[in-house]
Amino acid sequence: MTVDIQRTDSADCIRLETANPDCAMIWLHGLGATNEDFVPVFKRIVSSLSLNCVGLFPQAPTRPVTFSGGMSMPCWYDILGANPKRIINEDDLQAAAAGVHHLLQSLLDEGIAPQRIFIAGFSQGGAVAYESAMSYNGTLAGLITLSTYIGRPMTPANTALPVFCAHGTQDDVVPIALGEAALNDLQTMGLTPEWKTYPMQHEVCLPEIADISDFVARQLGQ
């Protein structure tokens, strides 16, 4: 089914919305990418489920990345090293999460219930999604993390948070071992994440999007 989706662009965020939205998704892109990346994924999910939904796609600031020789690129936080575990600037990570919380509050101010809001992210954006959702002291519809890792040790504010984690078995950018470590950490924290793998590299595939759509539908009671 085709759903009419309107688009509004600001300097640092894309907003997509259908008529009469009653749920929302915040999508966080990866290192060196732009906020356009997950617009098609959002549209596919919304259309497949016939959702009345808002999508927010913030753009990471451009700054030097230490691990990349100081090259400037869009990034949510500085990466200082990898072995393969990422060594990151945790202050940057927490600042990025604070920005997500600001977007979340804007959705709440519009009247969208928190239990109908998803936070999603890919790669570096996934680490920000982990930080944002697990530090939010409330009930969210769910957390969606793709090809990523947990940026820093933390205690989740809500262990009832529904989590969908996915990773490519051939990922040579963020090795699947980092995703598996995040999965183990979540379970140790008392969460019960869903875990999916796909025969792909550092990317997103159609079966993965279908599984995300299924997760979203279940959390919204469809």
Cα 55 from chain centroid (whole Å): 12
List alpha helices for 110-198, DSSP H: 124-134, 176-189
Say which of 92, 101, 167, 171 is annotated catalytic.
171
**Confidence label for 189 from pLDDT (cuts 50, 70 and 90):** very high
CA-based R_g, the chain, Å: 16
Percent of the chain with pLDDT over 90: 92
Query: Could you tell me the pTM of the whole model?
Result: 0.96
Let me know if 12 is a catalytic residue. Answer: no
Residue 202 CA: distances (Å) to CA of 124, 146, 205: 12, 9, 10
- How confident is the model at residue 22, as a pLDDT? 97
Q: CA 155 to CA 95: how far, in whole Å?
A: 17
pLDDT in tens, 9-35: 998 999 999 999 999 999 999 999 999
Let me know if 123 is a catalytic residue. Answer: yes
Which of 173, 177, 193 shows the shortest CA–CA distance to 129? Answer: 193
Rounded mean pLDDT of the chain?
96
Residue 93 CA: distances (Å) to CA of 47, 75, 79, 152: 32, 10, 10, 9
Query: CB burial class (10 A; 0-12, 13-18, 19+) of residue 3?
Result: middle
Q: CA 218 to CA 222: how far, in whole Å?
A: 6
- Say how many residues make up the chain: 222
Question: Which H helix or E strand runs over 210?
Answer: helix 206-219
Which of 143, 210, 142, 205 shows the shortest CA–CA distance to 168? Answer: 205
**Confidence label for 85 from pLDDT (cuts 50, 70 and 90):** confident
- How confident is the model at residue 11, as a pLDDT? 84
Domains of the chain: 6-219 (3.40.50.1820)
Q: CA 39 to CA 32: how far, in whole Å?
A: 16
Check pLDDT > 80 for residue 92. Answer: yes
Block residue for tokens 């999604």: 129
Say which of 123, 132, 147, 213 is annotated catalytic.
123
134 Cβ contact list (under 8 Å, min separation 6): 143, 154, 156, 157, 158, 161
Rounded average pLDDT over 105-117: 97
Let me know if 78 is a catalytic residue. Answer: no
Say which of 106, 202, 211, 214 is annotated catalytic.
202
